[in-house]
Amino acid sequence: MDKKIGFIGCGNMGKAILGGLIASGQVLPGNIWVYTPSPDKVDALREQYGINAAQSAQEVAQIADIVFGAVKPNVMLKVLGEVNSSLNKDTVVISIAAGITLDSLAKALGHDRKIIRAMPNTPALVNAGMTSITPNALVTSEDIADAVNIFRSFGLAEVVSETMIHPVVGVSGSAPAYVFMFIEAMADAAVLGGMPRKQAYQFAAQAVMGSAKMVLETGQHPGELKDMVCSPGGTTIEAVKVLEEKGFRAAVMEAVVKCMAKSEHLGKS
Ligand SMILES: NC(=O)C1=CN([C@@H]2O[C@H](COP(=O)(O)OP(=O)(O)OC[C@H]3O[C@@H](n4cnc5c(N)ncnc54)[C@H](OP(=O)(O)O)[C@@H]3O)[C@@H](O)[C@H]2O)C=CC1
Ligand SMILES: O=C(O)[C@@H]1CCC=N1
């Protein structure tokens, strides 16, 4: 793609997108402009990836065809409002902020602006991201195809209606955090069993990745795949019983429900 891509803000999530995009070869580093308020952080990104360090958010807005707003939700509308007059007529603005609706983005940017609300996740950095894309009515099918290509260059991406955004945050945007906790806990137990820590993380992470791949690639129900592991009178069913007794599934569901509720609350505040 020869479009110019801009990042206003480039912390944990912005860096994951930037790193994934460059690794995919879809966009050349020379076609990417990044601004963050700390010059040393932009310089570090320029050294690591060879991108252009912008002096201001306005500079990114002037140059880029597609501008990522990758700042925290509490400053997103202010930051985008301040660069609005620097954007070109056809620029597509992609906000990745949790809880910031297309409606509030249009209020900050004007109702004639092409806006996409996206919800990515940090595995973008290792080519395994999952992103939802929700365009407003002004975004053309060509712009949508560009956005889908960008997000698919480092994982999976689906266009969804804005009503799906809270489940998306719960089941993919925030989900890496719960999965990392699960990996950490399994590895801690393996360490308790005598395994060296580094090896424990490798075994736990590979088990999670392999299991996820089986769900995605076999099309079989997760319960069926679980049953395939549980030998009668074996080791696994002992572990499964404890997870059921401790309310593992209910805890995960409750956590995701809380996450969705917070996403909804952010959208109203
Ligand atoms: N982290 C995640 O897993 C996910 C995050 N998101 C969304 O991504 C967004 C960013 O989150 P995350 O990357 O975690 O946050 P970070 O705090 O890691 O990054 C925020 C970035 O914004 C920059 N920034 C702060 N103030 C301004 C400003 N006034 N103008 C321009 N840039 C500014 C920061 O620069 P500096 O460091 O120089 O202050 C930093 O680069 C949020 O809206 C969040 O909802 C969405 C999906 C997943
Ligand atoms: O915790 C958050 O608010 C952001 C949104 C999704 C993942 N991280």
Say what the pTM is.
Answer: 0.95
To the nearest 10°, the Cα dihedral for 28, 175, 207, 20? 0
**Is the distance from the beta carbon of residue 174 to the nearest atom of ligand 2 less than 6 Å?**
yes
Q: Which of 146, 89, 87 is nearest to 116 (CA)?
A: 146
57-74 pLDDT, tens digit per residue, is 999 999 999 999 999 999
Structural domains of the chain ordered from first start: 5-161 (3.40.50.720), 173-268 (1.10.3730.10)
Q: Provide the 3-class DSSP secondary structure of residue 67.
A: strand
Query: How far, in Å, CA of 157 to CA of 86, rounded?
Result: 29
Predicted complex: ipTM over 0.90: yes
Q: Are 6 and 33 in contact (CB under 8 A)?
A: yes
What letters, b where the CB count within 10 A reaches 16 and e where it falls short, cover 12-48?
ebbbbbbbbbbebeebeeebbbbbbeeeeebeebeee
CA of 69 to the centre of ligand 2 (A): 14
Query: How far, in Å, CA of 150 to CA of 196, rounded?
Result: 39
CA of 11 to the centre of ligand 1 (A): 5
**Which pair of tokens denotes residue 160?**
């969804």
Query: How far, in Å, CA of 15 to CA of 57, rounded?
Result: 16
Give start and end residues of each alpha helix (H) in 86-168: 102-109, 141-152, 165-168
Positions at the binding site: 8-13, 36, 70-73
- Is residue 80's pLDDT more than 90? yes
* Residues having CB within 6 Å of any atom of ligand 1: 8-14, 36-38, 41, 57, 70-73, 75-76, 79, 96-98, 119-122, 173
Residue 26 region, left (φ>0) first, then alpha (ψ -120 to 50), else beta? alpha
What percentage of the chain carries pLDDT values higher than 70? 100
Amino acid residing at 145? A
Atom index in ligand 2 nearest the CA of residue 173 equals 6
Q: Provide the 3-class DSSP secondary structure of residue 114.
A: strand
Q: Which of 132, 168, 169 to mutate to test the pocket of ligand 2 (most atoms within 8 A of CB)?
A: 169
Mean residue pLDDT across the chain = 96
136-195 pLDDT, tens digit per residue, is 999 999 999 999 999 999 999 999 999 999 999 999 999 999 999 999 999 999 999 999
Adjacent-strand bridge partners of 52? 33
